[in-house]
Structure 1
């Protein structure tokens, strides 16, 4: 992503692998509020009672960001998306972990925007489908279409 000059506004920077007491793991920037406290994941906020529907507009903006920069999420999950209420942006979500292309056609989807857009759309729509299936979103909530 550094080579493609992509905005890091909604992606935590990754510094590579490190060995931990739980095994190998990726090291990312710690996403914090101004006072230094770590930002909570959407999963944690939902567990505390915040409905996912509160974040739908911001999730759609995050989706647009992924499309704009052709950033392919390998694993869009509620525990990989953090909410930073203090960001100076209309979208205050940051993805940690779960990025990259696990597709056989990785070269094409990373370099040809139309292939990447299809993969991003599928991942995002699958994320919304699972949220509806799990009762986190109403069944009539809109599913984003692939943008041209």
Structure 2
């Protein structure tokens, strides 16, 4: 059993808390703190589905299974770190501190890459938002976006999850909702250009 304490703590949401894995700094442990295991069970089931499909984990935090801890059963997931080994910050963090149009354009380009990836790999993120996506810095100064939370089956009827058409419809709906919420994450002075860039990005896909 893994023992977790405050030194391992990263962050907490309404339902779960996240800790650095004591035995591997490149993994994290998600544990339920609300008493409601429904979200975790749903996510684990979908992760197992993705493992069977042998997807690329290039832009989604890799799932390693579950492990017992002193705080209950935990999901073991890849902990995304920058090239300086610091834990990567959320897209929400970067949108709130935007300082230039060039920086905004860089993130729009990265969002285009993320959308292509999700559609190519047919990965549905039910709770797609700027907090559940991190920006991973790399030595090439470009970096990439990585989804770290919020995954779930796209359809209630599991048979439909093996049909690309229905999965793509759900991904597209989720993406459109997400993309237009981004303007709430940055200064109002960028809203006009953000809208223009987002429209242009849709035309590139």
User: What is the TM-score when the length of structure 1 is the normalising length?
Assistant: 0.78
Residues 1:48 and 2:97 aligned together: yes
Distance 1:29 1:72, change over 3 A: same
Residues in 1 aligned to 2:169 and 2:55: alpha-carbon distance in whole angstroms: 19
Residues in 1 aligned to 2:67 and 2:130: alpha-carbon distance in whole angstroms: 22
CA contact (8 A) 2:88 2:134 kept: yes
Q: Which protein, 1 or 2, shows the higher relative CO under an 8 Å CA cutoff with sep ≥ 6?
A: 1
Which runs of 5 or more structure 1 residues have no equivalent in the other structure? none
| CA RMSD across the alignment | 2.8
Map of 1:1-148 to 2, 5 A cutoff?
A: 1-14=50-63, 15-16=65-66, 26-49=75-98, 53-86=105-138, 92-101=144-153, 103-108=155-160, 110-132=161-183, 134=184, 136=186, 137=191, 138-140=194-196, 141-142=198-199, 144=202
The 3-state SS of whatever aligns with 1:125 is: helix
Q: Report the number of matched residues.
A: 142
Which runs of 5 or more structure 2 residues have no equivalent in the other structure? 1-49
Aligned-residue offset at 1:105:
3.3
CA contact (8 A) 1:125 1:144 kept: no
Greater share of helix residues, 1 or 2? Answer: 2
Which structure has the larger Rg over C-alpha atoms?
2
Residues in 1 aligned to 2:119 and 2:110: alpha-carbon distance in whole angstroms: 14
Aligned-residue offset at 1:77:
1.0
